[in-house]
Structure 1
Amino acid sequence: MTTSHSLTAEHLTLGYGDRTVVESLDLAVPPGKITVIVGANACGKSTLLRSLSRLLSPRGGRVVLDGREVHRMPAKELARTLGLLPQSPVAPEGITVLDLVGRGRHPHQGLFSRWKHEDDVAVAAALEATRTTELADRSVDELSGGQRQRVWIAMALAQQTDLLLLDEPTTFLDASHQVEVLDLLTDLNRDRGTTIVMVLHDLNLAARYADHLIALAGGGLHAAGPPAEVLTEDTVRTVFDLESRIIEDPVSGRPLMLPIGRHHVLSRPAAARD
């Protein structure tokens, strides 16, 4: 794996129908790092990720990978470098876990090439990493939401790309499995140099696992940089319309956001009230 790939958005404008979601956005994804995109609902996080992977064509501007516009690159060539796990993907009816994960190997196969030993190795490693090996012969339709999510992540890992984009990879997972998946992605980044870009809803998990944090608001880039610089009380107020306090996470040393609800009352022990 290599950490030298360059992925940027230049004056990017995105939308659906008559609605513009992102307007004239510029950003650069740090190579070899974990980037996490955060923001309020409907701010354009998933839309941006779709455009970075060329699933959504821009209305203006462009997405550039290693000096080439991604929307002008052959699909299979792009898929050997950049992989995407979209939000709520749909599996073909009746497909087994093994077959679905195996589809991650398609970009590495030519028109007439056959399945190779290295494909078996990649699929087995992806199943083992996501703890889904025991599910290999089961139909994806039979799995729980959390199991399906881990299988989709296995398919993305089997693709073995240098850049991996994931839209809410912790969806449907309980707290334990959320941390497990994010630890897995961190290992992938550290061991293989894979550049990872993902959308997360949980600000504290985003701050703990990100090297680079991107906060979107108002159709544009509000802030980008190390979590300690981006996750501030002002950012939370502006981006999420929420009052908060930022303290140091005692586990990671990263910023930790404590929300302050409108009905929050600082209670005192009973003895102190008497």
Structure 2
Amino acid sequence: MTVIHTLAVENLTLGYGDHTVIDGLDLVVPAGRITAIVGANACGKSTLLRSMSRLLPPRAGQVLLDGKQVHRMPAKELARTLGLLPQSPIAPEGITVADLVGRGRNPHQRMFSRWSAADDEAVAAALDATSTAVLADRAVDELSGGQRQRVWIAMALAQQTDLLLLDEPTTFLDVSHQIEVLDLLTDLNRARGTTIVMVLHDLNLAARYADHLIALADGRVHAVGTPHEVLTEETVQAVFGLSSRVLEDPTSGRPMMLPIGRHNVVAPV
């Protein structure tokens, strides 16, 4: 059964070397919901996610999980509650799909403990959910980019955490597999109440699948709220510098953004 956890960022400042990427940021992740972080390239989306998962220490401020600073929590304790799929994960050379997905169970292993039936069930369920069971005996480095991405998602699912952070989970996937993965995450959220935070580049997919949007610009939160509150023509212009039209998606009823470029634009009558 999923436990509801609180995840918040307070006055967070992050950077690399002399360059500040996130500056004095505050936000609260809605528990038990799906949140999508959107914004232009280099606005700090991935940097924020890395710090929320303890990979990048803050220059100032803090990330709090149930009131505890994540950067002071033991790594294994944190990993039993919060899972991360980074943007460009690297698999050990020659490792098979089944072995890689099985590593998602590491946070649940105790010293001298044996692999259990529960571990087998978790791995099998993750492989089945991501349609990668047929790849179980294949070496990860032999797979296509899309297949590898689904295997990494399977490893994150096998970890069975109550909070799951994903940095561009649809990278390398064709459109059918993008929808499949986002449907899978929605199923996970609805069935288990898993809190999901993901970075997405596609604004329309973010608006369709997320309950909560965070739009970043210049290292700060520009807009936050429901898709209808955040995905507006004004926000798209301010965050992306792009003219657009925002309409109602006839399939989902959510907002849908149509970009306006310099060409192939029908002049108003």
- TM-score > 0.5 by shorter chain: yes
Instruction: Report deviation, 1:190.
Output: 0.2
Q: Is the 8 A contact 2:4 2:162 kept in 1?
A: no
Instruction: Report deviation, 1:112.
Output: 1.1
Q: Is the 8 A contact 2:207 2:255 kept in 1?
A: yes
What is the alpha-carbon distance in structure 2 between the residues aligned to residue 246 and residue 116 of structure 1?
Answer: 51
The aligned counterpart of 1:105 is 105
The aligned counterpart of 1:256 is 256
Alignment partner of 1:197: what SS?
strand
Instruction: Report deviation, 1:265.
Output: 2.8
Instruction: Report deviation, 1:4.
Output: 1.9
- Give deviations 1:187-231, integer Å, cap 9, x for gaps: 000000000000000000000000000000011000111000000
Gaps of 5+ in 1: none
The aligned counterpart of 2:117 is 117
What is the alpha-carbon distance in structure 2 between the residues aligned to residue 264 and residue 215 of structure 1?
Answer: 28
Amino acid across the alignment from 1:99: D
The aligned counterpart of 2:265 is 265
Instruction: Report deviation, 1:267.
Output: 6.4
Amino acid across the alignment from 1:71: H
The aligned counterpart of 1:217 is 217
Instruction: Report deviation, 1:111.
Output: 1.2
What is the alpha-carbon distance in structure 2 between the residues aligned to residue 2 and residue 97 of structure 1?
Answer: 26
The aligned counterpart of 2:82 is 82
The aligned counterpart of 2:230 is 230
The aligned counterpart of 1:9 is 9
CA distance 1:232–1:3, shift in 2 (3 Å): farther
The aligned counterpart of 2:194 is 194
Alignment partner of 1:124: what SS?
helix
Q: Is the 8 A contact 2:96 2:140 kept in 1?
A: yes
Runs of 4+ in 1 over 3 A off after TM superposition: none
Amino acid across the alignment from 2:57: S
The aligned counterpart of 1:48 is 48
Amino acid across the alignment from 1:160: Q
User: How many pairs align?
Assistant: 269
State which structure, 1 or 2, has the greater radius of gyration over its C-alpha atoms.
Answer: 1
What is the alpha-carbon distance in structure 1 between the residues aligned to residue 152 and residue 247 of structure 2?
Answer: 34
- Give deviations 1:23-66, integer Å, cap 9, x for gaps: 00000000000000000000000000000001000000000000
What is the alpha-carbon distance in structure 2 between the residues aligned to residue 61 and residue 265 of structure 1?
Answer: 46
Amino acid across the alignment from 1:42: A
TM-score with structure 2 length normalisation?
A: 0.98
What is the alpha-carbon distance in structure 2 between the residues aligned to residue 124 and residue 218 of structure 1?
Answer: 42
CA RMSD, Structure 1 to Structure 2 (Å): 1.1
Percent identity between the two aligned chains: 78
What is the alpha-carbon distance in structure 1 between the residues aligned to residue 265 and residue 205 of structure 2?
Answer: 26
TM-score with structure 1 length normalisation?
A: 0.97
What is the alpha-carbon distance in structure 2 between the residues aligned to residue 267 and residue 235 of structure 1?
Answer: 23
What is the alpha-carbon distance in structure 2 between the residues aligned to residue 126 and residue 4 of structure 1?
Answer: 22
Amino acid across the alignment from 2:258: L
What is the alpha-carbon distance in structure 1 between the residues aligned to residue 91 and residue 84 of structure 2?
Answer: 15
Alignment partner of 2:107: what SS?
helix
The aligned counterpart of 1:21 is 21
Q: Is the 8 A contact 1:3 1:195 kept in 2?
A: no
| Aligned pairs (5 A) from 1:163-182 | 163-182=163-182
Instruction: Report deviation, 1:263.
Output: 2.6
Amino acid across the alignment from 2:10: E
Alignment partner of 2:36: what SS?
strand
What is the alpha-carbon distance in structure 1 between the residues aligned to residue 110 and residue 207 of structure 2?
Answer: 40
- Give deviations 1:102-143, integer Å, cap 9, x for gaps: 000000001111100000000000000000000000000100
Alignment partner of 2:261: what SS?
coil
Gaps of 5+ in 2: none
